[in-house]
Structure 1
Amino acid sequence: MWVLASVTPAVMCVVRTLRRGSASGDSGRPAAGSGAAVLLLAAFGVAIAQTIVVAALAVFARELDVTTTSATWLLTAFMLASAVATPVAGRLGDLFGHRRVIVTGLALLLTGSVVAALSTHLDSFPGAVAGRVLQGLAGGVFPCAFGLARQSVPAERLEGVVAALSVTFGVGGALGMVVAGPLVDVTGPATLFWLIAALALLALAGMVRATLPSAPCSPTGRVDLAGAALLAGVLVAILLAVSQGRAWGWSSPWIIGLFAATVALSAAFGITERHVAAPLVDLRLLIGPRLLTTNIATLVVSVGMFAAVTLLPLFVQTSTALGYGFGYSPARTGLVMAPIAVCMLLATPLAARVSSALGARATFGAGAVLAAIALTGLGLLHEHIAAVLFWCAGLGLAYGLAFASLGSLVVGAVWRGQTGAATGINTILRTVGGALGAALATVIVTSSATTLGQPPTESGYTTAFVVAGAIALCAAGVTATRSIVNPRRRVDAPSRAKRLKDR
């Protein structure tokens, strides 16, 4: 019952998109409805996979006989693999067709889910992490979904579909935590992975049946394997350093070496991307004037969001014997997370209206400010569950506004042949920000413990929530600065949609 109540809003969102887009465009493109619904389903499957383990990390730690800190690698491994795979997939989609890459990504999601489920049944933590890595390689579905939408959805429907795809990243992540609790309580942790396998199989069937174009947007060039290897090295080094800093010691040679490797590999990556003919990450899309502030804001706001969603389940499941927390089971934890998912979903049409009136940048800024308020509230006012639920609702609304506007900001700033690359970069930044946020939150909370291995104190959670709020406020500051330097020109919704399609 809980699972149906959690997933139904997302299904209804897909149905509404299908109905709105049921007519073909005047240009003779295929009907948008079924294609848009399938793309949303594929993106939803990947999004829910990224966080479905969060509410059950304590259960996984117990079942697989590892510490709770080690169990967080079930989250970090997915995000790390996704961050590495996303730019490669975006580039492959531009070169060989987004539909082919989406099908491949869904196949990896299905395979990884089966591996993780069987490994959990066999009490194999390394196998479960390996399965999560395979699942994470499906992260490339996101940029290719944007690219395929741009090819197949009529201009008048494109902006709405882009916003829906963008917010799916957050909605799916929140729903993953809602669904996890009741499933784990009733059937055990392996069921979480079987659910993802079912979603991947359903999306694969939809991709086979849907009428979607297979032609590439930019059929010339090749994949930058050297850049991919260097980017993987950067991400592994920084995430390992942040996540293991307290356990290994921040001044230990290993941690210092990892931070030094991050700097060196980042420099090598930048040099390589500037000189290769077909770079994995076009630095003009990453740090160029059209997308620089959007990319910075994306990274920063993702750090704040995933810090919060990592902390919330741990906080509410903390035993009341420690003087804080609520001692909730995973199922009740899912109920606490439900307002985030529901309000994110409700924020999607609201974001479209605000963007039409004030622009996508103003919508993002409003969401970031609201997120800062909600996170600070969680840090300072969390004694009663009613207050926690209220702040969770505000957080869902905030991130619904922020994520729904990001897709339009990115897609509206590039030409069609750059859609996969640009949205891939933005998705990387969301994923990297999420991984850093989860690691940062864990470090802050565990550092509050008097000795290593002891339960954290309430002050650790307070500090982590407030820090996450300050980070979200920084994202709002980035967009405000951009608005002062280059005020937005008002564009009516029909002409904006046409510009998105024609570029």
Structure 2
Amino acid sequence: MWVVAGLTAAVMFVVRKLRRGGARRPAGGGTPVLLLAACGVAIAQTIVLAALTVFARELDVSATGATWLLTAFMLASAVATPVAGRLGDQFGHRCLLVTGLALLLAGSVVAAVSTPLGSYPGVVTGRVLQGLSGGVFPCAFGLARQTVPAERLGGVVAALSAMFGFGGALGMVAAGPLVDVAGPAVLFWFVAVLALLALAGMVRVPSPSTSASPAGQVDLTGAALLAGTLVALLLAISQGRAWGWSSPGIVMLFVAAVALAAAFGLVERRVAAPLVDLRLLIGPRLLTTNIATLVVAVGMFAAVTLLPLFVQTPTALGYGFGYSPARTGFLMVPMAVCMLVAAPLAARITRSLGAKAAFQAGAVLAAIALGGLALLHEHIAELLVWCALLGLAYGLAFASLGGLVVGAIGQAATGAATGINTILRTIGGAVGSVLAAVIVSAATGPGRPPAESGYTTAFVVASAIALCAAAVTATRGAVNPQPGRQVNVELRDSR
């Protein structure tokens, strides 16, 4: 509980500072609120991960059914993130950020009320509403770029980027102790409190000095096709193991995902105001960054999925530690702390060597930590060391991604570009979680517990994936912007 108490104290400190600042706060004074908002969304994504077995029991569903509490959030977030980023660029990031926080609050309350009632549909609905708050991330980047002074922007962007990983780790840390003390519903009430505090703080965030230009119509056709693509893809990935990878249902889902993606590409190339400018996704300045984002997210979420499963394995199987959810959460503390420490470190590396160097350092450290987990995992002290190194690694990697994206595009496209980058993290997270489970289960027979060799193989694969992320950004086309020397590329219509 000391972790939760510490977070609560930090939140209250932020609120007191905001009250003292009042309306006369200088530009950039709302940064703590933006960080709190981003952290709250990241916590909401992973806070159910360490307690899925508890939710399965409380809601009377199978383990596969319980995983939908994670998948539902990812699906909704993957759809909402680029939409919110685009709308933020058109109509103002502040308005969309407040809307996202309101959805996070509403979804948390719905899920919290539904859990004691044993209403599985109600909890899933709440998680969908929570997932729609994924648009907070691109809007926070856009609002920061409008309100934060240029000399501080690099550090703020790094901190916002780090919140994706730090908040995710913190969600897993807090889940175990909270569930043991007050039951699973308290997880959602905890997120609701964070959302409410962030909403209250938004009142004192300075208004942007520049205004959005709401020109053009919202690309509803593109939004529908993107939603269909992501739902089909993530549904196939998340349910492939349960339904069978060669089953007709999974095959049809993959075929549908490809067909819808092709249709989405055609529509976005022809529409006057596309939901996702494809040049932000596959353009020469952002292609390597987006690929690296997808790859590093696969490796990270594979790791955070494997670790709770590994330490909760009964010692009678010859490995594992038989930990409870609470003790598993405490094991993740070094990871969360090191992710937080990595944000200012990433900013320093970026100032001296560039954002690409910070990302590559993080990816290489992740490969070392995951390789260490594969070879040395017999003692809990070893796991604590590797968790700390992994937190530092992914803190560096995620903190530098915002700088790579923001430094490569013009201000008018900040929300759209960071939205695309965030959605790639979400897709990578879904792929990584499933990939880890598939590798572990492949090492044993049906109905039997996983073998230790499955975890070893999965950690080795995750290590190789992290190295691939470093290699991608080493290509000639990767942009390496310096804070204060932004690559101010304004996208022109080349259709």
Q: Same fold (TM over 0.5)?
A: yes
What CA distance in whole angstroms lies between the structure 2 residues aligned with 1:80 and 1:439?
A: 14
Q: In the alignment, which residue of structure 1 is the partner of 2:437?
A: 442
Give the one of 490, 493, 496 matched to 2:485.
Answer: 496
What CA distance in whole angstroms lies between the structure 1 residues aligned with 2:490 and 2:225?
A: 34
Give CA-to-partner distance per residue, 1:149-186, whole Å, 9 cap, x none: 11111111111111111101111111000011100011
Q: Which amino acid aligns with 1:234?
A: T
Give the one of 452, 460, 464 matched to 1:466.
Answer: 460
- 2:139 aligned with 1:150: no
What CA distance in whole angstroms lies between the structure 2 residues aligned with 1:17 and 1:87?
A: 32
Q: Using the TM superposition, give the Cα deviation of residue 290 of structure 1 relative to its aligned residue in structure 2, in angstroms.
A: 0.7
Q: In the alignment, which residue of structure 1 is the partner of 2:240?
A: 245
Q: Which amino acid aligns with 2:472?
A: V
Q: In the alignment, which residue of structure 2 is the partner of 1:4?
A: 4
Cα distance, 1:157–1:15 mapped onto 2, change above 3 Å: farther
Q: Using the TM superposition, give the Cα deviation of residue 444 of structure 1 relative to its aligned residue in structure 2, in angstroms.
A: 2.2
RMSD over aligned CA atoms reads: 2.6
Give CA-to-partner distance per residue, 1:184-230, whole Å, 9 cap, x none: 01100100000000111111111123333396434212221111111
Q: In the alignment, which residue of structure 2 is the partner of 1:384?
A: 379
Q: SS of the counterpart of 1:324?
A: coil
1:249-268 aligned within 5 A = 249-268=244-263
Native 8 Å contact 2:409 2:490 kept in 1: no
Native 8 Å contact 2:105 2:195 kept in 1: yes
Q: Using the TM superposition, give the Cα deviation of residue 442 of structure 1 relative to its aligned residue in structure 2, in angstroms.
A: 2.1
Native 8 Å contact 1:365 1:479 kept in 2: yes
Q: SS of the counterpart of 2:332?
A: helix
Q: Using the TM superposition, give the Cα deviation of residue 121 of structure 1 relative to its aligned residue in structure 2, in angstroms.
A: 0.8
- 2:353 aligned with 1:358: yes
Q: Which amino acid aligns with 1:458?
A: E
What CA distance in whole angstroms lies between the structure 2 residues aligned with 1:112 and 1:208?
A: 21
Quote the sequence identity (%).
Answer: 75
Cα distance, 1:469–1:10 mapped onto 2, change above 3 Å: farther
Q: Which amino acid aligns with 1:398?
A: A
- 2:464 aligned with 1:475: no
Q: Using the TM superposition, give the Cα deviation of residue 145 of structure 1 relative to its aligned residue in structure 2, in angstroms.
A: 0.4
Q: In the alignment, which residue of structure 1 is the partner of 2:36?
A: 41
Q: Using the TM superposition, give the Cα deviation of residue 17 of structure 1 relative to its aligned residue in structure 2, in angstroms.
A: 11
Give the one of 345, 357, 362 matched to 2:340.
Answer: 345
What CA distance in whole angstroms lies between the structure 2 residues aligned with 1:500 and 1:43?
A: 25
Q: In the alignment, which residue of structure 2 is the partner of 1:332?
A: 327
What CA distance in whole angstroms lies between the structure 1 residues aligned with 2:334 and 2:398?
A: 16
Q: Using the TM superposition, give the Cα deviation of residue 8 of structure 1 relative to its aligned residue in structure 2, in angstroms.
A: 6.5
Cα distance, 1:360–1:167 mapped onto 2, change above 3 Å: same
What CA distance in whole angstroms lies between the structure 2 residues aligned with 1:330 and 1:361?
A: 36
Cα distance, 1:376–1:63 mapped onto 2, change above 3 Å: same
TM-score normalised per structure 2: 0.93
Native 8 Å contact 1:360 1:408 kept in 2: yes
Native 8 Å contact 1:2 1:179 kept in 2: no
Native 8 Å contact 1:43 1:145 kept in 2: yes
Deviates more, 1:265-274 or 1:240-249: 240-249
Q: Using the TM superposition, give the Cα deviation of residue 98 of structure 1 relative to its aligned residue in structure 2, in angstroms.
A: 0.7
What CA distance in whole angstroms lies between the structure 1 residues aligned with 2:324 and 2:479?
A: 49
Aligned length: 490
Q: SS of the counterpart of 1:209?
A: coil
Give CA-to-partner distance per residue, 1:403-432, whole Å, 9 cap, x none: 111111101111111011011111111111
Q: SS of the counterpart of 2:320?
A: coil
Give CA-to-partner distance per residue, 1:210-254, whole Å, 9 cap, x none: 333396434212221111111111111122222222222222111
Q: Using the TM superposition, give the Cα deviation of residue 454 of structure 1 relative to its aligned residue in structure 2, in angstroms.
A: 3.5
Q: Using the TM superposition, give the Cα deviation of residue 76 of structure 1 relative to its aligned residue in structure 2, in angstroms.
A: 1.4
Q: In the alignment, which residue of structure 2 is the partner of 1:130?
A: 125
1:296-335 aligned within 5 A = 296-335=291-330
Q: In the alignment, which residue of structure 1 is the partner of 2:58?
A: 63
TM-score normalised per structure 1: 0.92
Q: Using the TM superposition, give the Cα deviation of residue 7 of structure 1 relative to its aligned residue in structure 2, in angstroms.
A: 2.2
Native 8 Å contact 1:38 1:210 kept in 2: yes
Q: Which amino acid aligns with 2:133?
A: A
Q: In the alignment, which residue of structure 2 is the partner of 1:73?
A: 68
Q: Using the TM superposition, give the Cα deviation of residue 380 of structure 1 relative to its aligned residue in structure 2, in angstroms.
A: 2.4
Structure 2 residue runs of 5 or longer lacking an equivalent are none
Cα distance, 1:487–1:186 mapped onto 2, change above 3 Å: closer
1:344-423 aligned within 5 A = 344-423=339-418
What CA distance in whole angstroms lies between the structure 2 residues aligned with 1:291 and 1:12?
A: 38
Q: Using the TM superposition, give the Cα deviation of residue 339 of structure 1 relative to its aligned residue in structure 2, in angstroms.
A: 0.8
Q: Which amino acid aligns with 2:355?
A: A
Q: Using the TM superposition, give the Cα deviation of residue 3 of structure 1 relative to its aligned residue in structure 2, in angstroms.
A: 3.1
What CA distance in whole angstroms lies between the structure 1 residues aligned with 2:460 and 2:348?
A: 30
Native 8 Å contact 2:331 2:384 kept in 1: yes
